[in-house]
Structure 1
Amino acid sequence: MMKIQLKIAGLMLITALITTLFNASGCTKRTPVEEISVAQSGIEVAEAAVVSGDVGEQSFDWPQWRGLSGGVSGNKNVPTQWSAESNIRWQADVPGRGHSSPIVVGDLVVLGTATENPDQQLVVAYDRNDGQKRWSSIVHDGGFPTKRAVHMKATNANGTIASDGNALVTAHLNSDRIWVTAFDFDGNRLWQTDIGAFDSKFGYAPSPIIYKSLVIVAADNRGGGYLVGLDIASGQIAWRRSRGDASSYSSPSLVKLGGTDQIVITGNDRMASYQPATGDLIWETECIAEATCGTVVAAADRVFGSGGYPSEETVCLDQDGKLVWSQRTKIYEPSMVTDAENLFGVTDSGIAYCWDVEDGTVLWKKRLGGNFSSSPVICDGNVYVADLSGNSYVFKASGESYQLVSKNRLGDDCYASPAIADDAIFFRIGFGEEAERTEKLFCIAEDG
């Protein structure tokens, strides 16, 4: 027994030494997060209304990741069928590569992208009516992370841009830091702020979101993660909160629970809620996994999340963060979407699920085939979602059964998620493979 104990003790010592050497070698760059309060910053949150939004039954612009309603659009007369030959209003070439989904604000469609040789991270704006490129602005010139610090499926422009109707805000990993940058609607840089160090495991993915006069950005990483609120007018940090030291990839989500605005995000083996004006923690609940990618969605004072790695779980929590139901099902890269009665999701491996939001009962599931990274959206009673083989599925947003409306093919892959504005769907589509791969932005509409 003594020999066994000595062997165990020896193994533990060796493991500790290896861990110490690993950390000391620079493979994990621990950087303490300096928290900032609104009392320290002096930034006051103003009631700055987003220019776009819902007016009656008609929904207009799509100003950030997942729109304004967690991937749900109130639009009508959006096509359910299209191809390279039909219902294409316009198409435009996109330089480089990115998973940044398009946003639609005013007369612009805007997305982020990254090129190589030269290494540049860019914001590109297109005319909403005809697809003509209006401008392209450089966010960063050089400073890309090493190839081994970015997942083979990822890019150097993963995050979607956010807008309050006055500025366009984007976040990037560059030179081992996270930088938040704002542009005006002519492509002129307004400000750029370094919000903290970032030790990359697989790259940077979160998208910024808007809350009143703040833009809120997440940066979970193994060196020391954080959540930051910045004044959208000046770029000054209003508050910053530490979030642990796990690499995770989810974007924050602004939801209303119990009549209160909350910022909710998964990752670090928990779902956590913060006061958007101050960054103060409201509640946190252990669940899901260390690493998640999907953005939470909410309805009827309940919030839903799924993931991840290494654990896998889909959960429903109430407005106080108490677990309502849990399923051992994993939707990792795509986000889910809900119509307040049903919760829909498509796994990375192509299985579509519909859960009852009340108790988590699986109402139906259907293997679509293929692999998925893009997130589904709901519009006019239908779910729209694209796979990594050029197929887009449209099926009924119904809890009764899986009802396919159409299966449409365009290009060879789709990593980004669609935006919907007025009568049109905006898709970022990939063509070809590897070095020959190119990207295009499509406006899909009935009069195309």
Structure 2
Amino acid sequence: MRAALVLTLSLSTALSAPAADAWPGFRGTGESVAKGAYPTAWGPKDGLAWTADLPGYGQSSPVVWDGTVYLTAVEGDNREKGYVVALDAKTGKEKWRHTFEPTQKAKWSYTISRAAPTPCVDADGVYCFFEGGNLIALTHAGKVRWARDLVKEYGEFQGGHGIGSSLAQTEDAVFVLIDHRGPSYLLAVKKVDGENKWKVGREQKGGWASPVVATRNGSPEVIASSAGTVIGYAADTGKELWKLDNVVGNTIPSASVIGDRVLFGGGTSRSKEESPAGAKSNGCLKLVSKDGKPTFEPAWAARAGVSNYATPLGYEGVAYFVNQVGVVYAHDLATGKELFAERTDGACWASPVGAGGHVYFFGKDGTTSVLKAGKEFDQIASNKLWETKAKPTPAGGKKDAPGDKKDAPGGEYGDPIVYGVAAADGAFYIRTGAQLFKVTK
């Protein structure tokens, strides 16, 4: 193979492409792009197919497969109870729930994970991981196929914010990234029986970011942007293939793969004088081969763009970064040219979605800003899930009812908060701590 040959990659992720009515994991297949037409305008009284109350409280995103929506949640002052819940996608009615006792318990707060890891789903069932250390595989009917306890096997999770990393998957394995203040690792678990496929150690640093899987010349590759590095691992063996050091602030946003490009983000911006090979925070890598070996080249640096919580999005030739107050920074995906920096209608904790020629920024206060995809800022809609004048239910109650956040317990963290979204079959499934909203045309 010739040196510096650029390899063709895709986010088929070595997993069969899901049907249009599937959103099989965190950010779908890892790129946060949905096919087909999706609604661009809705409100509390227009466009909501249903709203479902959920047991407990959760910060994970929903996943969708063959007409069923799956979610996770925990309950109790110290997260004493865990849930996996299946809802009918058409009606919002609960089909079943699985209840268990999490192993590692801790008093909850808005800055400590509560069912934060998003599960993944395939034709055989749903795979769920919890910050209490429990890794569970269930059938589509809700029966346990296998269960593991990573805390008992490898030690308690250490750090002030808990574990928030979502699962990634290939056809035969799920991948769990544990970056914390104790012995850290990336674990590949066989879907068929829950046994280890491999386990590799990582540097002991805290992080909430999730792995993503790309395919390089037919071979899946696990990419982890977390805790100061971006690393590519061979999905079949766990062998480290390449590594980018000195990344700043990438403890929450995950990597996003678009073709042969990898977008990564962190909580700080770089100065105008820094080069892509210098201290890194937000930018783009190009996946290449040198001397027959997979590696990367720095592509460009997002000199102004910042990703605080949401993972960067690559869609229709544009890379989008959004900071903690809702400012969107757009760059040309190929060259890194700065296109615009404009404020949307609110802070985003959920990662944006590209669909139907539009980019959706799901604000944590229930307001979704809809942009026309392209190299110019063109916001075409601002859509609310709920009215904001009602008094909120205190967090930790049975519901996180809509309300005015300025008077809510916890200040800026007052419920309800939009944590995640799934897009499937022309509908958005938007999750707050204790409710799920289905938005349709």
- Name the TM-score, length of structure 1 as normaliser: 0.80
The match for 1:342 is: 318
The match for 1:298 is: 257
Q: Which structure shows the bigger proportion of residues in helix conformation?
A: 1
Question: Residues of 1 paired with 2:364 and 2:33: CA distance?
Answer: 22
* 2:43 pairs with 1:83: yes
The match for 2:378 is: 403
Amino acid aligned to 2:21 = F
Contact kept in structure 2, 1:257 and 1:302, CA below 8 Å: no
The DSSP-based 3-state class of the residue aligned with 2:148 is: strand
The match for 1:443 is: 438
Residue 172 of structure 1: how far off its partner (Å)? 1.4
* 2:339 pairs with 1:363: yes
The match for 1:5 is: none
Residue 228 of structure 1: how far off its partner (Å)? 0.4
Q: Percent identity?
A: 24
Residue 308 of structure 1: how far off its partner (Å)? 3.3
* 2:98 pairs with 1:137: yes
Relative to structure 1, the CA distance from residue 312 to residue 99 in structure 2 (aligned partners, 3 Å threshold; closer, same or farther) is farther
Of 270, 275, 288, 2:234 maps to 275
Residue 108 of structure 1: how far off its partner (Å)? 0.8
Of 173, 192, 215, 2:147 maps to 192
Contact kept in structure 2, 1:410 and 1:429, CA below 8 Å: no
Structure 1 segments, 4+ long, off by >4 Å, are 48-52, 257-260, 309-312
Contact kept in structure 1, 2:364 and 2:419, CA below 8 Å: no
Contact kept in structure 1, 2:283 and 2:302, CA below 8 Å: yes
The match for 1:333 is: 309
The DSSP-based 3-state class of the residue aligned with 2:131 is: strand
Residue 361 of structure 1: how far off its partner (Å)? 1.5
1:112-170 superposed Cα distances (whole Å, 9 cap, x missing partner): 111116721111110111110011111435642244xxx63343200111012212111
* 2:74 pairs with 1:74: no
* 2:69 pairs with 1:109: yes
Contact kept in structure 2, 1:164 and 1:210, CA below 8 Å: no
The match for 2:171 is: 212
Of 407, 410, 416, 2:419 maps to 416
Question: Residues of 2 paired with 1:157 and 1:114: CA distance?
Answer: 6
1:41-94 superposed Cα distances (whole Å, 9 cap, x missing partner): xxxxxxx9856615xxxx331011111251001122x21111111111122111
Contact kept in structure 2, 1:288 and 1:315, CA below 8 Å: no
The DSSP-based 3-state class of the residue aligned with 1:131 is: coil
CA RMSD, aligned part only?
A: 2.3
Contact kept in structure 1, 2:102 and 2:134, CA below 8 Å: no
Residue 369 of structure 1: how far off its partner (Å)? 4.6
Contact kept in structure 2, 1:384 and 1:393, CA below 8 Å: yes
Of 359, 369, 384, 1:383 maps to 359
The match for 2:397 is: none
Question: Residues of 1 paired with 2:334 and 2:365: CA distance?
Answer: 34
In structure 1, the gaps of 5 or more residues are 1-47, 431-438
1:159-216 superposed Cα distances (whole Å, 9 cap, x missing partner): 1110122121111122xxx331111112121111233322132111011111111011
Contact kept in structure 2, 1:139 and 1:181, CA below 8 Å: no
Residues matched between the structures, number: 380
Relative to structure 1, the CA distance from residue 206 to residue 69 in structure 2 (aligned partners, 3 Å threshold; closer, same or farther) is closer
Question: Residues of 1 paired with 2:45 and 2:324: CA distance?
Answer: 29
Question: Residues of 2 paired with 1:203 and 1:134: CA distance?
Answer: 30
The match for 1:182 is: 137
Relative to structure 1, the CA distance from residue 315 to residue 381 in structure 2 (aligned partners, 3 Å threshold; closer, same or farther) is same
* 2:424 pairs with 1:425: no
In structure 2, the gaps of 5 or more residues are 1-12, 270-278, 288-294, 387-401, 403-415
Residue 98 of structure 1: how far off its partner (Å)? 1.0
Amino acid aligned to 1:193 = R
Of 162, 167, 176, 2:120 maps to 162
Question: Residues of 1 paired with 2:101 and 2:263: CA distance?
Answer: 35
Of 268-277 and 415-424, more deviation after overlay is shown by 415-424
Of 308-317 and 348-357, more deviation after overlay is shown by 308-317
Contact kept in structure 1, 2:366 and 2:384, CA below 8 Å: yes
Question: Residues of 1 paired with 2:423 and 2:345: CA distance?
Answer: 25
Question: Residues of 2 paired with 1:93 and 1:71: CA distance?
Answer: 25
Amino acid aligned to 1:388 = K
Question: Residues of 1 paired with 2:170 and 2:16: CA distance?
Answer: 12
* 2:92 pairs with 1:97: no
Of 250, 262, 282, 1:314 maps to 282
The match for 2:201 is: 242
Contact kept in structure 2, 1:52 and 1:105, CA below 8 Å: no
* 2:354 pairs with 1:351: no
Question: Residues of 2 paired with 1:239 and 1:141: CA distance?
Answer: 24
Choose 1 or 2 for highest CA Rg. 1
Question: Residues of 1 paired with 2:81 and 2:373: CA distance?
Answer: 40
Contact kept in structure 1, 2:14 and 2:218, CA below 8 Å: no
Relative to structure 1, the CA distance from residue 404 to residue 377 in structure 2 (aligned partners, 3 Å threshold; closer, same or farther) is same
Amino acid aligned to 1:441 = L
Question: Residues of 1 paired with 2:82 and 2:159: CA distance?
Answer: 17
- Name the TM-score, length of structure 2 as normaliser: 0.81
* 2:12 pairs with 1:53: no
Relative to structure 1, the CA distance from residue 274 to residue 142 in structure 2 (aligned partners, 3 Å threshold; closer, same or farther) is closer
Residue 312 of structure 1: how far off its partner (Å)? 6.9
The DSSP-based 3-state class of the residue aligned with 2:183 is: coil
1:213-243 superposed Cα distances (whole Å, 9 cap, x missing partner): 1011100111121000001111101100111
The match for 1:24 is: none
Relative to structure 1, the CA distance from residue 275 to residue 330 in structure 2 (aligned partners, 3 Å threshold; closer, same or farther) is same
Residue 278 of structure 1: how far off its partner (Å)? 1.1
Question: Residues of 2 paired with 1:82 and 1:158: CA distance?
Answer: 27
Question: Residues of 1 paired with 2:205 and 2:284: CA distance?
Answer: 22
Amino acid aligned to 2:285 = L
The match for 2:89 is: 128
The DSSP-based 3-state class of the residue aligned with 2:331 is: strand
Contact kept in structure 2, 1:386 and 1:414, CA below 8 Å: no
Relative to structure 1, the CA distance from residue 88 to residue 191 in structure 2 (aligned partners, 3 Å threshold; closer, same or farther) is same
